[in-house]
């Protein structure tokens, strides 16, 4: 029905939907005529309604923002973007809290007060005579000290035009999950479509999660898909970090259907390790998944296939928890 309404009618009906707090009707009006519906939302009442709605159903805010971010006035755009950002941060924090950050074991003398466990094998290996003579002391016991593993990760995200809003929402949420999970570690974020941009450099430790999300929320999912150029940018970031090569790896998130640039396998081989999370493709899904699988194989990494965009952040957490 909304498709047969003119500009003024859609604007009036959107305003009425605000009065009746009908979010489904508002979303319908936005899909029918984004400019007319946004015109009705561009006011104090619109902001107040969505501020309340953000408390009840925060997941709706990013989708609303992607609709209205162009036609909305600057005065209210910042408020709607803040609501979308808060929703993404809240969701990603919830996801991250269920994940495990990488830790590694280190064998040390068992003299630390409160050390939770000791290493029996190491103790026996270093003190066979004292054990035999029953003269073992605390200084002779070896314990296990757990130390957080410092990882160096390049997240390479496909934002080509074929997936638009879903892609940008996925990019914002996935990036936020990575940033929370690796708060005190080294990570870089690369977005690519026809070209590629480094959203966060691996040696930049002061750029906030909020700024990163805002940049993604205001970016464009446009152009063709050039996986090669995304991997190229990612590799340049990774080689900035020289030490601990075994803790360096890339994570490529794409549907695999590249239609620009060189064969990505060429660069995938140059990564210490390159994991791939395969997104569902709009077209030629089998070809895309096959490409993702091959990239992971030549990159000596793991391949995760997801059937829905909502699964991507959890797949990322599962991958990160293995390091």
198 found inside a domain: yes
Spatial separation of the C-alpha atoms in residues 2 and 262, rounded to whole Å: 45
Q: Which pair of structure tokens corresponds to residue 103? A: 């830790």
Spatial separation of the C-alpha atoms in residues 229 and 22, rounded to whole Å: 44
DSSP 142: E
245 found inside a domain: yes
Residues 32 and 143 in one domain: no
Question: DSSP for 195-222?
Answer: SEEEEE-TT-----HHHHHHHHHTS---
pTM of the predicted structure, to 2 decimals? 0.78
- Given 45, 64, 90, the domain boundary residue is 90
Residues 130 and 190 in one domain: no
97 found inside a domain: no
- Count of structural domains within the chain: 3
Residues 298 and 245 in one domain: yes
121 lies in which domain range? 103-148
Residues 207 and 308 in one domain: yes
Spatial separation of the C-alpha atoms in residues 77 and 195, rounded to whole Å: 27
- Given 42, 67, 90, the domain boundary residue is 90
Q: In Å, how far are 182, 251, 295 from 248, measured between CA atoms?
A: 13, 10, 17
52 found inside a domain: yes
Tens of pLDDT, residue by residue, the chain (323 residues): 556 789 999 999 999 999 999 999 999 999 999 999 999 999 999 999 999 999 888 888 998 998 999 999 999 999 999 999 999 998 888 887 755 444 444 555 555 545 545 566 666 666 666 665 666 666 666 665 555 568 899 999 998 875 456 778 888 999 999 988 888 889 999 999 999 999 999 999 888 999 999 999 888 777 789 999 999 999 999 988 877 667 899 999 999 999 899 999 999 999 999 999 998 777 777 889 999 999 999 999 999 999 888 888 889 998 988 87
Q: What CATH number does the domain containing 242 carry?
A: 3.40.50.410
Find where tokens 């830790």 sit: 103
98 found inside a domain: no
Residues 140 and 163 in one domain: no
30 found inside a domain: yes
Are 212 and 175 a contacting pair, CB within 8 Å? yes
Strand order in the sheet with 248-254: 196-200, 186-192, 152-158, 248-254, 274-278, 300-305
């Amino acid at each position: 029905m909304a498709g047969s309404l003119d500009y003024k009618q859609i604007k009036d009906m959107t305003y009425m939907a605000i009065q009746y707090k009908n979010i489904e009707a508002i979303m319908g009006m936005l899909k029918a005529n984004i400019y007319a519906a946004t015109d009705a939302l561009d006011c104090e009442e619109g902001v107040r309604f969505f501020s309340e709605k953000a408390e009840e159903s925060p997941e709706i805010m990013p989708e609303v923002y992607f609709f209205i971010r162009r036609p909305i006035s600057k005065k209210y755009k910042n408020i709607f973007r803040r609501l979308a950002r808060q929703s993404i941060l809240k969701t990603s924090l919830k996801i991250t809290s269920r994940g495990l950050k990488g830790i590694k074991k280190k064998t040390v003398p068992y003299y630390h007060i409160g050390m939770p466990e000791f290493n029996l094998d190491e103790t026996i290996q270093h003190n066979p005579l004292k054990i035999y003579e029953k003269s073992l002391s605390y200084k002779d016991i070896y314990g296990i000290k757990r130390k957080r593993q410092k990882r160096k990760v390049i997240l390479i995200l496909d934002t080509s035009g074929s997936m638009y809003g879903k892609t940008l929402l996925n990019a914002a949420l996935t990036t936020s999950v990575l940033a929370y999970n690796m708060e005190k570690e080294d990570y870089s974020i690369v977005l690519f479509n026809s070209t590629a941009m480094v959203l966060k450099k691996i040696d930049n430790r002061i750029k906030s999660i909020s700024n990163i999300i805002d940049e993604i929320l205001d970016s464009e999912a446009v152009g063709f898909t050039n996986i090669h150029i995304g991997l190229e940018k990612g590799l340049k970031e990774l080689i900035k970090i020289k030490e601990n090569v075994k803790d360096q790896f890339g994570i490529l998130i794409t549907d695999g259907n590249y239609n620009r640039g060189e064969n990505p396998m060429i660069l995938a081989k140059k990564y210490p390790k390159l994991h791939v999370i395969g997104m569902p493709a709009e077209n030629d899904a089998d070809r895309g998944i096959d490409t993702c699988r091959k990239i992971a194989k030549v990159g000596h990494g793991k391949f995760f296939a997801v059937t829905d965009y909502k699964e991507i952040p959890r797949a990322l957490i599962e991958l990160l928890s293995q390091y």
